[in-house]
Chains A and B, each alone.
Chain A
C-alpha cells in the first residue's frame, strides 16, 4: 500500500500507553509451535531435548529481563518475567515432564504441553483471583518451551522479509511478551494486534515500557504489508495506515511534544513542589495495596496521603488478624520512613461489599451502612485494626484517617477506642514510642462534615477532603451513572465553597488540610487549591510529576 492511497483511520482498543507512535509495519508471524504426539523412539534423546529447551528458554528470559531493565521498564513487567523464569527452572515441573516422557514414551513437546496444560487447569480452578491469573503464565511458559524446541533456523526466522531501519510498529494476530523484548528487532514504537486483552501480558509490558498498543484491530494482518507506514494513537485507540504527509507532520509534532513532556517530567524528580512565589504544597500518593509502593517511589511522591486498607479485608473468608494487619501497615511505614503515611481505616460497604459482614442488600448503599458506621458497630474488629496501626507506628510517621464522618460523636467514639487500644498495648508493653501521639484525622467527604468543620477541627488532627464522595453527595449525582455524568462536576461553585470553608476552618484551628480524590490532579483544581492555601494533595502516583510541574509554573 502506498502513502496517500486508501488511507483509513480505524478505531481499536488501546491497551498500552496513551502516547502516539509512528513507524513502519513489521509483520510478525509467530512460528507455528509443534506438538509431536507420536511415540518417541529415543527416550533419553527427548529428555535431553527437554532439558536443553528449559535452559534455552530461561536464558532468553534472562536477556529479556536485561533489555527491560535497560529500557527502564516497570516493576510489574519485570516480576512477570521473573515468574516465568521460575516456572521454567522449577524442579517439580521438570520432574513431571520427565516422568511423563518415561511413562508414555512421549516426546518432549507433548510432555511440555500436557504438564503445563494441567498446571493451567489447576490455577483456573482456584478461587483466589491472583492465583487464577497464574493460568496465563502457564500458557506463556508452555509456548516459550515449545518455541525453544523448534529447530534453530525456524525459531529465529520469525519475521517476514528483511527489516529496514526502525522505528517499527509490530503487527501480528497475537503477540507474546517475548515479541516486545527479543533483542533482534531494532527499535519498536508500537504494537497492533488482532487479538489480545488489556490484562494480557503483552499489554502490561507495553504499558510498563510506555509503548502504545492497539488490540482487536480486525484483519489487520491481511490489510497491512511489510513496511507500510502506520500511526498509532494510544490515547484514542485509533490507527491509520499510510498517512498523508500532512497527517504525518501533525503526528510527528505530537510525538515530539510527548517526548519533550516526558523529559520535562523526568526533570521534576527530586524537585520541590513550590510555586514561583514560594508557596509550598506536598504531593502525596493514593495507594490500594502493598504492590503500589514501588510505583509511588518511581514517581517521587512526598509520602502517602491515602492508604486504602480494604484490600486486606477483601477476597477472603474472615477478618484479617492483628498480626497480619500490623505487617501490612508496618511495610508501608517502613517504605516511607521520615515521610507521612496516612492510613484510612476500613471503608467497606457502599460499592465495596465484603461477604463475611453479611450486609443485607440496601436500596441505597452509598447512603447506607458503610465505612465508619460499620466499624463503630464492631468494636472488637475495629480495635484490632487500631491496635495494628498503633503497633506499626514505631517511628510516628503513620497517621490514622477515619472515613465518612458526619457527626462529631463518631470521631469522639473512634478516638476513645483508639485511646483504649493504646492503653491496652502500653500495659502489654507493646506500644512503640512513635505511637504515643498518633495523629487522628478525618475525611471530609459529606456536606455535613463541611458544615461542622469548625467543630470537627477542634477534635481532629488533620482534614483530608475526599472529593469523589463529596461531589456526588453535594450535587446528588452518582459518578458511575452516565446519564448524570455531566452533573458530576468538581468545579461546581458549591464544591469550591465547601473546599474553601473546610480549609479555612482547618487553618483557623491550626490543623493541616489536604485533599484526596481524582479531581486533585486536574490543572484547574490544582490552581484553585494552591490559591486556597491547601497543605497537601494526594493523587494516583502517575499524576504526581505532572502536578508538580503545574504547581511550579503557578505564580
Chain B
C-alpha cells in the first residue's frame, strides 16, 4: 500500500473537469484499488460521482491511497493532477 497526502492546488478544486481527468487516469490502473480520503471520508478515485461527493475545494487536504501492482506510480501520477 502506498499513501500520499497533498493539498489541492487546482483553482477549481475537485470540480467536474479536474475530477473527470482524475477518475479517467485512476481507471487506467485496473488492478489497483485507489481511494481519496478527505476528513475521514473515503471516495473511489475511479468514480467521478464519488469524487464529487467529497466537495473538495481548492486548498483542501486530501490523502491518496493506492493498493495494488502499480500503487506507487498511480498515487504519484494522481497527486500531480491535483497539484
A interface with B by C-beta (< 8 Å)? 79, 82-83, 86-87, 90-93, 119, 122-123, 126-128, 130-131, 134, 290, 312, 316, 318, 320-321, 323-325, 327-328, 331
- Among residues of B, the one whose C-beta sits closest to the C-beta of A115 is B49
Contact: A128 with B55, CB < 8 Å? yes
Contact: A122 with B53, CB < 8 Å? yes
Report Cα–Cα, A320/B59, bound state, in Å.
8
Q: Which residues of B contact A79 (CB under 8 A)?
A: 16-17
Known contacts A131-B52, A134-B52: A92-B44 contact under CB 8 Å: yes
Question: What are 26 A-B pairs at a CB distance below 8 A?
Answer: A79-B17, A82-B20, A83-B16, A86-B20, A87-B49, A90-B48, A90-B49, A90-B50, A91-B44, A91-B46, A92-B47, A92-B49, A122-B53, A127-B55, A128-B55, A312-B11, A316-B58, A316-B59, A320-B59, A321-B9, A321-B59, A324-B10, A324-B11, A324-B58, A327-B10, A331-B11
Q: Mark contacts of B22-58 with chain A using CB atoms, 8 A cut-off: 1 yes-contact digit, 0 otherwise.
A: 0100010000000000000000101111101101011
Report Cα–Cα, A313/B55, bound state, in Å.
17
Partner of B47, one of A91, A126, A318, A331: A91
- Among residues of B, the one whose C-beta sits closest to the C-beta of A138 is B49
Tally of B interface residues using CB under 8 Å: 23
Contact: A316 with B11, CB < 8 Å? no
B12 within 8 A of partner (CB) = yes
Q: Which residues of A contact B53 (CB under 8 A)?
A: 119, 122
Q: Which residues of B contact A93 (CB under 8 A)?
A: 47, 49
- Among residues of B, the one whose C-beta sits closest to the C-beta of A126 is B55
- Among residues of A, the one whose C-beta sits closest to the C-beta of B44 is A92
The distance from the CB of B35 to the nearest CB of chain A, in whole angstroms, is 12
Partner of A327, one of B11, B46, B48: B11
Contact: A130 with B11, CB < 8 Å? no
Q: Which residues of B contact A130 (CB under 8 A)?
A: 15-16
Q: Which residues of B contact A123 (CB under 8 A)?
A: 52
- Among residues of A, the one whose C-beta sits closest to the C-beta of B11 is A328
Contact: B58 with A320, CB < 8 Å? yes
Q: Which residues of A contact B20 (CB under 8 A)?
A: 82-83, 86
Known: A83-B20, A90-B49, A93-B49. 10 other contacts (CB 8 A): A91-B44, A126-B55, A127-B55, A128-B13, A131-B55, A290-B12, A316-B59, A324-B59, A325-B11, A331-B11
Report Cα–Cα, A128/B52, bound state, in Å.
11
Contact: A290 with B11, CB < 8 Å? yes
Q: Which residues of B contact A134 (CB under 8 A)?
A: 16, 52
Report Cα–Cα, A122/B58, bound state, in Å.
20
Q: Which residues of A contact B57 (CB under 8 A)?
A: 128, 316
Contact: B55 with A92, CB < 8 Å? no
Report Cα–Cα, A128/B8, bound state, in Å.
16
Report Cα–Cα, A377/B14, bound state, in Å.
32
- Among residues of B, the one whose C-beta sits closest to the C-beta of A85 is B20
Contact: A86 with B59, CB < 8 Å? no
The distance from the CB of A309 to the nearest CB of chain B, in whole angstroms, is 11
Q: Which residues of B contact A327 (CB under 8 A)?
A: 9-11
Q: Mark contacts of B41-83 with chain A using CB atoms, 8 A cut-off: 1 yes-contact digit, 0 otherwise.
A: 0001011111011010111000000000000000000000000
Partner of B9, one of A131, A318, A323: A323
Q: Which residues of A contact B47 (CB under 8 A)?
A: 90-93
Q: Which residues of A contact B55 (CB under 8 A)?
A: 126-128, 131
Report Cα–Cα, A82/B9, bound state, in Å.
24
Contact: B59 with A87, CB < 8 Å? no
Report Cα–Cα, A78/B27, bound state, in Å.
23
Contact: B11 with A320, CB < 8 Å? yes
Report Cα–Cα, A325/B58, bound state, in Å.
11
- Indicate the member of B48, B49, B53, B58 with the most A CB atoms within 10 Å: B49
- Among residues of A, the one whose C-beta sits closest to the C-beta of B12 is A290
Partner of A318, one of B50, B52, B59: B59
Report Cα–Cα, A320/B57, bound state, in Å.
11
Report Cα–Cα, A320/B11, bound state, in Å.
9
- Among residues of A, the one whose C-beta sits closest to the C-beta of B23 is A86
The 7 nearest A-B residue pairs measured at CB: A92-B47, A92-B50, A328-B11, A91-B47, A90-B49, A86-B48, A126-B55
Report Cα–Cα, A91/B48, bound state, in Å.
8
Report Cα–Cα, A93/B12, bound state, in Å.
23
- Among residues of A, the one whose C-beta sits closest to the C-beta of B53 is A122
Q: Which residues of B contact A126 (CB under 8 A)?
A: 55
- Among residues of A, the one whose C-beta sits closest to the C-beta of B26 is A91
- Among residues of B, the one whose C-beta sits closest to the C-beta of A96 is B49
The distance from the CB of B16 to the nearest CB of chain A, in whole angstroms, is 5
The distance from the CB of B13 to the nearest CB of chain A, in whole angstroms, is 8
- Among residues of B, the one whose C-beta sits closest to the C-beta of A131 is B55
Contact: B9 with A324, CB < 8 Å? yes
Report Cα–Cα, A331/B20, bound state, in Å.
19
- Among residues of B, the one whose C-beta sits closest to the C-beta of A82 is B20
- Among residues of B, the one whose C-beta sits closest to the C-beta of A91 is B47
Q: Which residues of B contact A119 (CB under 8 A)?
A: 49, 53
Q: Which residues of B contact A328 (CB under 8 A)?
A: 11
Q: Which residues of B contact A127 (CB under 8 A)?
A: 55
Q: Which residues of A contact B50 (CB under 8 A)?
A: 90, 92
Q: Which residues of A contact B9 (CB under 8 A)?
A: 321, 323-324, 327
Report Cα–Cα, A312/B17, bound state, in Å.
17
The distance from the CB of B45 to the nearest CB of chain A, in whole angstroms, is 10
Q: Which residues of B contact A323 (CB under 8 A)?
A: 9
Q: Which residues of A contact B52 (CB under 8 A)?
A: 123, 131, 134
Q: Which residues of B contact A83 (CB under 8 A)?
A: 16, 20
The distance from the CB of A130 to the nearest CB of chain B, in whole angstroms, is 6
- Among residues of B, the one whose C-beta sits closest to the C-beta of A130 is B15
Q: Which residues of A contact B44 (CB under 8 A)?
A: 91-92
Report Cα–Cα, A87/B20, bound state, in Å.
10
